[in-house]
Structure 1
Amino acid sequence: MGDIGTIMMIGLIVLLALGVPIAFTIGLLAAVGIWMADINPMILPQQFVAGSNVTSLLAIPGFILAGELMSAGGLSRRLVRVAETFFGHLTGGLSMSTVAAGTFFGAISGSAPATTAAVGSIMIDELEDRGYQRGYAAALATAVGPLGQMIPPSIPMVIWGVLAEESIAKLFLAGIVPGLIAAAGFCVVSVIYARYRGVAREARATGREILFALRDGIWALLAPVVILGGIYSGMFTPTEAAMVGALYSAVVGLFLYRDLKWQKVPSILMSSMRTTATIMFIIAVAYGFAWVMASEQIPARLTEALLLLTDNPIILLLILNVMLLLLGAVMDNISAMVILSGVLIGLGQQIGLDPIQLGAMVVINFAVGMVTPPVGYSIFVASSISGLRVETVARHIWPFMLVLVTVVALIAYVPAITLWLPEKLG
């Protein structure tokens, strides 16, 4: 790998172990790499700017703002109510309602932590009141978070599309079937848990209650239709769809539902700006780090090293997925994608993976990392909302992790899972 590559890899492991924030870690290592390679230091800030100066990345602030406006505007609460009227009377119905609400909200927010926060803040107390363990409720809210990164629109899919220069719209389509399979698996877990714990069924909603929930929630239900329908009808690009989603959320929250108050708008804008700034800072410095690695041919050498282990594509896929899951459990997924994009794209080409399948596999592996101990961010979000220790939430999450790992395996070994919709609608 060379002295520079070795020092950068060791430095990355050591600094992360010491708890240095990921953005500062990779920024510092990029500067060290530039200095050791005797490259003009002005290259580094130029690469930082180049990494963030990509038009498609404008979708990120739009989807973040849309998700925050949806939560504050009462759309997520109405989605939960609609889900309850259809699933509440079934065994494990309230748990399945949580999954359905997470699936719908995931089709708006594009973010795992945002989905966990929106659904968990409404459903954790409700589930506990209806006989579910609080730890299970928090784990369920954590588990539905990755649906926000599988079901389009997805912020990580946007980032991978930019990195790999692949169609963002096709990547969005590639996440739909895995997301629905994961949601179905969570529903199976819900039924098994409810039967094992003897959770009582809710009364079946009357036709009047269903009609009221649908009429009250119609604008929330239309949000994914507006965003995704606009993209796939060709009316606007994914970047424009993000802005349309934010505008739609604001109009519905302020003027139709009126749950969103004007005095809250500045704080929502500031919160969205802080989140966007954090993500863009990570992308910028990670792009500089990745450029230093590429200039030292580190991705190519790592790819060659992996191929020396075996040339069996089945074994290589297993190694790749285990590596992605482990990295997703200890690293920020955005910076990991930027840093490893060269290695992953090269490896995918070597073993004949379709680029869209590879993109979906990478993004969904890292989405699973968001709920994987020890540092899965969605676990910390659910812990904060529920008031439970992280260890308690992690102890209850293993059935949902089993579902998510099964989905990852299907994506790797059954290409149609991710490629059927893009090929059908592409």
Structure 2
Amino acid sequence: MGDIGAVMMIGLVVLLALGVPIAFTIGLLAAVGIWMSDINPMILPQQFIAGSSVTSLLAIPGFILAGEIMSAGGLSRRLVRVAEKFFGHLTGGLSMSTVAAGTFFGAISGSAPATTAAVGSIMIDELEDRGYQRGYAAALATAVGPLGQMIPPSIPMVIWGVLAEESIAKLFLAGIIPGLIAATGFCLVSVIYARYHGIAKENRATVKEVLIAMKDGIWALLAPVVILGGIYSGMFTPTEAAMVGALYSVIIGLFVYRDLSWRQIPAILMSSMKTTGMIMFIIAVAYGFAWVMASEQIPARLTQALLLLTDNPIILLLIVNVMLLLLGAVMDNISAMVILSGVLIGLGQQIGLDPVQLGAMVVINFAVGMVTPPVGYSIFVASSISGLRVETVARHIWPFMLVLLTVVALVAYVPAVTLWLPEKFG
């Protein structure tokens, strides 16, 4: 690998083990790599700027803002209410309602922590009041978070599309079936849990109650239709769709539902700007780190090293998926995607993996990392909302993890799971 590659890889492990924030870690190592390579140091800030100047990344602040406004504007609450009317009378109905609400909100926010926060803030207390253990309720809210990264629009899909120079619209389509499979698996867990713990069924909603909930929630239900319909009809790009979604959420929150006030807008803008700034900072420094690695041919050497272990595509896919799951549990997924993009793209080409399937596999593996200790953001969000320790939430997460790992395996070994929709409609 060479001296520079060895220093960067060892430095990455050591600094992360010492608890140095990931953005500072990779920024420092990029600077060290430039210094050791005797390259003009001005290259590094140029790469930082280049990494954060890709037009498609403009979709990120739009989706973040749309998700926050929709949560504050009452859209998420109405989605939950609609889901309750349809599923509440079934065995495990309230738990299934949480899954359905997470699926709908995931089709708006594009973010795992945002989906967990929006659904968990409403449903954790409600689930506990209806007989569910609070730890289970928090774990369920954690588990539905990754649906926000699988079901379009998805912020990580946007980032991977930029890194791999792949169609973001096709990547969006690739995440739909895995997301729906995960949601179906969570519903199955809900039924098993409710039967085992003797959770009472809710009364079946009357037709009138369903219609009232649908009427009240129609504008929330139309949000993903507006965003995704606009993308796939060709009316606007994913970046433009993010801005349309933000504008739509403002209009509905202020003038239709009136749960949003003008006084809340500055705080929402500030919060979304902080989140966007954090993400863009990570992308910028990771882009510089990835450039140094590429200039030293580290991704190509790592790819060859993996191929020397075995040339069996099935075993290689297993190794890659295990590696992604482990990294997703300890690293920020955006940083990991940028750092590993060169290695993963090269490896995918070597074993004949479709680029869209590869992108979906990477994003979904890292989505699972969002619910895996010790760095799973969704677990921390659910812990904060529920008031439970992270360890308590983690103890209840295992049945949902089994579902997510099954989805990971299907994405890796059954190409149609991710490629059927892009090939049919892409």
Identify whether the pair has TM-score above 0.5, normalized to the shorter chain: yes
Task: Report the equivalent of 2:51.
Answer: 51
Q: State the partner residue of 1:351.
A: 351
- Mapped to 1, the partners of 2:100 and 2:195 lie a distance apart of 19
1:382, CA displacement in angstroms?
Answer: 0.3
Q: Which runs of 5+ in 1 are unaligned?
A: none
Q: CA deviation at 1:209?
A: 0.6
Using the aligned pairs only, state the percent identity: 91
Q: Which residue of 2 aligns with 1:236?
A: 236
Compute the displacement of 1:93 (Å): 0.1
Q: Deviations over 1:39-72 (max 9, x none)?
A: 1000000000000110000000000000000000
Distance 2:291 2:6 in 1: 16
| CA RMSD across the alignment | 0.3
Alpha-carbon shift at residue 375 of structure 1 (Å) = 1.5
Deviations 1:180-229 (A, max 9, x none): 00000000000000000000000000111101000000000000000000
Deviations 1:334-374 (CA, angstroms, capped at 9, x unpaired): 00000000000000000100000000000000000000112
User: After the TM superposition, which residues 155-194 of structure 1 pair with which residues of structure 2 at under 5 Å, given as runs?
Assistant: 155-194=155-194
Asked if 1 retains the 8 angstrom alpha-carbon contact of 2:166 and 2:355, the reply is yes
CA distance in 2 between counterparts of 1:156 and 1:114 reads 13
Instruction: State the Cα deviation string for residues 68-118 of structure 1 (Å, max 9, x = none).
Output: 000000000000000000000000000000000000000000000000000
Deviation track 1:243-270 (CA, whole Å, cap 9, x = no partner) reads 0000000000000000001100000000
Where does structure 2 lack aligned partners over 5 or more consecutive residues? none
Q: Which residue of 2 aligns with 1:35?
A: 35
Equivalent position of 2:123 in the other structure: 123
- Report the 3-state secondary structure (helix = DSSP H, G, I; strand = E; otherwise coil) of the residue aligned with 2:339: helix
Post-superposition offset of 1:142: 0.2
Q: Which runs of 4+ in 1 moved over 6 A?
A: none
Q: Take 1:19 and 1:202, find their aligned partners in 2: how far apart are those partners?
A: 47
Question: After superposition, what is the alpha-carbon deviation per residue over 1:296-346, rounded to whole angstroms, capped at 9, x for unaligned?
Answer: 000000000000000000000000000000000000000000000000000
| Deviations 1:231-289 (CA, angstroms, capped at 9, x unpaired) | 00000000000000000000000000000011000000000000000000000000000
CA offsets 1:152-206 (integer angstroms, 9 cap, x no match): 0000000000000000000000000000000000000000000000000000001
Give the Cα–Cα distance (whole angstroms) in 2 for the partners of residues 51 and 374 of structure 1.
28
Q: CA deviation at 1:137?
A: 0.1
Residue 259 of structure 2: aligned partner: 259
1:127 is displaced (CA, Å) by 0.2
Q: Secondary structure at 1:262's aligned position in 2? A: coil
CA distance in 2 between partners of 1:33 and 1:423 (Å): 41
Q: Secondary structure at the match of 2:263?
A: helix
**For 1:345 and 1:246, how far apart are their aligned partners in 2?**
32
Structure 2 partner of 1:143: 143
Tell me the distance in 2 between the aligned counterparts of 1:27 and 1:59: 24
User: Match of 2:97?
Assistant: 97
Aligned residues of 2:332 and 2:375 also touching (Cα < 8 A): no
| Distance in structure 2 (CA, Å) of the matches to 1:205 and 1:6 | 63
- Conserved 8 A contact 2:329-2:372: yes
Contact 2:84 2:94 in 1 (8 A): yes
Q: Number of matched residues?
A: 426
Q: Is the 8 A contact 2:66 2:108 kept in 1?
A: yes
What is the rounded CA distance, in whole Å, between the counterparts of 1:29 and 1:253 in structure 2?
Answer: 44
Q: Does the 8 Å CA contact 2:124/2:141 hold for their aligned counterparts?
A: yes
The answer to whether the 8 Å contact 2:146/2:367 transfers is yes
**Alpha-carbon distance in structure 1 between the residues aligned to 2:6 and 2:297:** 12
| 2:271 equivalent in structure 1 | 271
Partner SS state of residue 327, structure 1: helix
Q: In structure 1, what is the Cα distance between the partners aligned to 2:370 and 2:12? A: 20
- TM-superposed CA distance for 1:126, in Å, is 0.2
SS where residue 234 of structure 1 aligns?
coil
Whole-angstrom CA distance in 2 between matches of 1:57 and 1:231:
16
CA distance in 2, matches of 1:385, 1:12: 32
> C-alpha displacement at 1:132, in angstroms?
0.2
Structure 1 counterpart of 2:370? 370
Alpha-carbon distance in 2 for matches of 1:237, 1:183:
27
Whole-Å separation in 2 of the counterparts to 1:158 and 1:171: 8
CA distance in structure 2 between the aligned counterparts of 1:424 and 1:402, rounded to whole angstroms: 30
Alpha-carbon distance between aligned partners in 2 of 1:23 and 1:410, rounded to the nearest angstrom: 32
C-alpha separation in 2, matches of 1:60 and 1:380: 22
